[in-house]
Amino acid sequence: MKEQLNGIKIKAEQELAAVAGLKELEDLRVNYLGKKGELTSVLRGMGGLSAEERPIIGQLANEVRNLLEASIEQAKTELINKEREARLKAEVIDVTMPGKIQGMGRRHPLSMVLNQIKDVFIGLGYEIAEGPDVELDYYNFEALNIPKDHPARDVQDTFYIKDNILLRTQTSPVQIRVMENKKPPIKIICPGRVYRSDAVDATHSPIFHQVEGLVIDRGVTMGDLVGTLQLFAKSIFGEDTKIRLRPHHFPFTEPSAEVDISCWTCGGKGCRVCKNEGWIEILGAGMVHPKVLEACGIDSEVYSGFAFGLGVERVTMGKFYIDDLRLLFENDLRFLKQF
Ligand code: DAH
């Protein structure tokens, strides 16, 4: 019986070394340790042993069983780890390809447009700056010349983490962060996600994207702003695109303007898309307010600059004739496959 037990041990270990899956391992366990298993039948046969032999064989049988159980348990852990690793490997997303829709080789329309916008400004020598989504009240409002109780806060209601910490309502706070840390000349765009407590409908979403632009140097004028925006509009919407500035108020720029572009559908004649206006508003802009420059330690007697902020969803919807903002966030493949 001793030989039989040793034989079982050696055979089981050989088989164990060749096991490749959990199912196979369980079969092996049943074959040896199960009710009708090889080791179990040997143990059952111990009744016929003499009184001297029984404890010796019994001890050996227990040792073989314990050894087998431990080896099977260890093999099981190894197999589970191996399978988990393989699964994780298969689930890997290539983060060096932002915006690529997995398995489609395409980009999300918002990423496509954002990349085009970035290309235009990088081509003009702008750098890209980023700031946090969770922002201090100071950067999102105060430093942009929007004190507490200023009515401009009403139209940009947001989600508050604490009294003075909130989800940024605009990318303009990145202007402040950059100006605090860098002396002019400054030439940046800041793409990013922004938040407002707006109900979802065809043209509103509590989360959307903006690209902020900021240029500060000696002798920067409104003419530079207009030229830059003209070039931007033509690059994104085509050579025939015109822009129009309407006087407006933003607390952080003076003078300020809302900027329209000639309708991408009718070219300015008037149609359903532009509500017969011939123009569509796409961004806000202006000359940086001296108070904002001074708050960042930049001498407004020496330096001047312009800033603008545009909505990426608005531009994307225009470029691709998308009439419902929600389509951009629902990520229905039937929609995404069209790009
Ligand atoms: N932050 C403004 C908004 O969200 C957009 C904007 C307007 C940004 C004028 C600017 C600017 O930098 O100069 O409504």
Query: Do 49 and 179 share a domain, yes or no?
Result: no
Query: Do 191 and 318 share a domain, yes or no?
Result: yes
Question: What number does the ligand 1 atom closest to the CA of 171 have?
Answer: 1
Query: Do 226 and 309 share a domain, yes or no?
Result: yes
How far is it, in rounded angstroms, from Cα 46 to Cα 50? 9
Query: Do 76 and 135 share a domain, yes or no?
Result: no
Q: Using the mean position of ligand 1's atoms as its centre, give its distance from the Cα of residue 309 in Å.
A: 4
Question: What number does the ligand 1 atom closest to the CA of 309 have?
Answer: 8
Q: Evaluate whether residue 95 is within a structural domain.
A: no
The whole-model pTM stands at: 0.71
Q: Evaluate whether residue 142 is within a structural domain.
A: yes
Query: Do 69 and 112 share a domain, yes or no?
Result: no
Query: Do 53 and 133 share a domain, yes or no?
Result: no
Query: Do 293 and 328 share a domain, yes or no?
Result: yes
Helix 222-237 to helix 109-123 angle, to the nearest 10 degrees? 140
Q: Using the mean position of ligand 1's atoms as its centre, give its distance from the Cα of residue 17 in Å.
A: 67
Query: Do 175 and 104 share a domain, yes or no?
Result: yes
Number of domains in the chain: 2
Query: Do 79 and 104 share a domain, yes or no?
Result: no
Question: Reduced to 3 states, what is the DSSP secondary structure of residue 274?
Answer: coil
Query: Do 23 and 76 share a domain, yes or no?
Result: yes
Q: Which of 69, 90, 111 is the last residue of a domain?
A: 90
**Per-residue confidence of the chain (339 residues) as pLDDT tens digits?**
888 888 888 998 899 889 888 999 999 999 998 888 888 888 888 878 888 888 888 888 888 889 999 999 999 999 999 999 999 988 887 766 655 555 555 789 999 999 999 999 999 999 999 999 999 999 999 999 999 989 888 888 899 999 999 999 999 999 999 999 999 999 999 999 999 999 999 999 999 999 999 999 999 999 999 999 999 999 999 999 999 999 999 999 999 999 999 998 899 999 988 889 999 999 999 999 999 999 999 999 999 999 999 999 999 998 898 989 999 999 898 998 888
Query: Do 207 and 182 share a domain, yes or no?
Result: yes
Q: Residue of the nearest CA to atom 12 in ligand 1?
A: 308
Q: Ligand 1 pocket check: which of 306, 308, 312, 313 to mutate, most ligand atoms within 8 Å of Cβ? A: 308
Q: Using the mean position of ligand 1's atoms as its centre, give its distance from the Cα of residue 174 in Å.
A: 12
- pLDDT at site 99: 56
Q: Evaluate whether residue 190 is within a structural domain.
A: yes
Query: Do 71 and 142 share a domain, yes or no?
Result: no
Q: Using the mean position of ligand 1's atoms as its centre, give its distance from the Cα of residue 58 in Å.
A: 85
The residues lining ligand 1, judged by C-beta closer than 6 Å to any ligand atom, are: 170, 172, 212, 250, 253, 284-286, 307-309
Structure tokens at 306: 């312009």
Q: Using the mean position of ligand 1's atoms as its centre, give its distance from the Cα of residue 337 in Å.
A: 33
Rounded to 10 degrees, what is the CA torsion of 292, 295, 301, 306? -30
Domain ranges, residue 32? 2-90
Exposed e or buried b for every residue in 266-300, given b needs 16+ CB within 10 A? eebeeeebbeeebbbbbbbbbbbbbebbebbebee
Q: Which of 45, 68, 90 is the last residue of a domain?
A: 90
Q: Which of 37, 56, 90 is the last residue of a domain?
A: 90
CATH at residue 122: 3.30.930.10
- pLDDT at site 97: 60
Q: Ligand 1 pocket check: which of 187, 190, 215, 252 to mutate, most ligand atoms within 8 Å of Cβ? A: 252
Q: Evaluate whether residue 238 is within a structural domain.
A: yes
Question: Reduced to 3 states, what is the DSSP secondary structure of residue 262?
Answer: strand
